[in-house]
Chains A and B, each alone.
Chain A
Amino acid sequence: MKTMHKSPWLLHYDGSSCNGCDIEVLACTTPVYDVERFGVVNTGNPMHADIFLVTGGINSQNEDVVKQIYSQMPDPKVVLAVGTCACTGGVFKECYNIKGGVDTVIPVDIYVPGCAARPESIIDGVVKAVSLFQRKHEEEEKKKNGRHRK
């Protein structure tokens, strides 16, 4: 289906972020940036989400939460790590309770660097995630069709 990319629903999870990136994520939904014009809905429900947007690093307490949210999202899904902390652990990397970036727990598709990540780069990341979402769907369809032919 070609219109899959027109409806990316986003789930925002704050790992152990300082809230800088979270404020910028929320800024994307305001009239200035209005990410809803791309069909993006900021849903709070993993069951309805297509793009998992994580800010902040992963620590021993939120590790299971992130894994669970990821497992509750139906395929196809895309993971977006927003901010330096979500990408690598950032300034908190050496802390005793920090495991590192989001990719230490779940597979990450798109990395958006920045401290804090600017709304423009977040929107850029979301748009990239959207095209990847479409590609993943098409690959799934191909796999399914291949299976039917056999």
Chain B
Amino acid sequence: MVEALWGRIGMMAAYAVFAPLIGGLLDGIDRKISARMQGRRGPCILQPFYDVAKLTKKQLLSVNKFQLLMVMSYLFFVMLSGALFFGGCDMLLCFFSLSTAAMFLILASTSTHSPFSTIGSHREMVQMMSYEPMVLLTAVGFYLATGTFRVMDVIRTDIPVIAYAPGFFVGFAFVLTIKFRKSPFDLSTTHHAHQEVVKGVTTEMVGIEYATTTVAEWYENVFLLGVVGLFFVTSNPWSYLVAALAVFAVYFIEILIDNTSARVKWQLMLKLAWGVTLVTGGLNLFILELI
């Protein structure tokens, strides 16, 4: 019992330490693959780390002190949700913590009164409205497939969750595009040069504030990809390899979608996200209930 507890604490610590490294590398690979898709050489894979390191050294020209506090809270709650997930805790708790984190990002953005970050945060809220139903349904899908919300019990099943919940998987992968801020759903802010509202929610974040937001995004990405992997994990150790391959496949498809689609209006995003949620998640839920 005590050993298991230490194991879980160890996993939490490993997440806290390694998630930004993995997230940063994935970001670097994303930029490299995107560049290759566009026929360019692209930057070095370590580029995101150079960017964050530089941002920490820039002058803090922030308009208020409140923003830094909110950004730090955003990072804390994202870390908490990921740590709870990799520590094997309740999945609902992880997702609620993630929503709280998103609220802190919106608070950080609206505290500045910049018209660009205000529009960005309005869009961020619409994005939340679009993906939240599917995210919550994903937790329900795990429950219906395994009879538990606890991650540590989900990984002990003999049949992977994907066998019961392929619809939930497709729906979750769909809303990941919104969560990763990939085109066509990069409404609130974007990682690319083709801006619309300058930088949206992150417009007024300077130096260390923007670095913190970026690191928080890396933590968030690793956590969300962890959820993708969880669909494939069973008591068999080889399933972790399958999960890793699935994670890479989903990430690659996200990059491909990002590079081949144009930004849509929020109305279409909302309709698509809720439509996919209803069809994939709803249908899967209905079938599982019947069985």
A residues lining the B interface (CB < 8 Å)? 1, 3-4, 6-7, 9, 29, 31, 34, 36-39, 41-45, 47-48, 50, 72-76, 137
Contacts and interface: CB of A to CB of B under 8 A. Distances in A.
B182 interface: no
B44 interface: yes
Top 6 A-B residue pairs of the complex, sorted by shortest distance between their CB atoms: A74-B59, A31-B39, A6-B50, A7-B54, A75-B59, A34-B40
Interface of B: 31, 35, 38-44, 47, 50-51, 53-54, 57-61, 193, 195, 198-199, 203-207, 210
Q: Most A CB atoms within 10 A — which of B39, B41, B50?
A: B50
Contacts, number: 81
26 contacts: A3-B53, A4-B53, A6-B47, A7-B54, A29-B193, A31-B38, A36-B40, A37-B35, A37-B43, A39-B43, A39-B47, A39-B50, A43-B193, A44-B195, A44-B198, A44-B199, A45-B195, A45-B203, A50-B54, A73-B61, A74-B58, A74-B59, A74-B206, A74-B207, A76-B59, A137-B57
Nearest to B197: A44
A4 B40 contact: no
B143 to A, nearest CB: 42
B53 A44 contact: no
Nearest to A12: B193
Given A34-B41, A44-B193, A44-B195, 6 more contacts: A3-B54, A6-B47, A7-B47, A42-B193, A48-B210, A137-B57
Given A3-B54, A36-B42, A74 B61 contact: yes
A129 to B, nearest CB: 14
A95 to B, nearest CB: 31
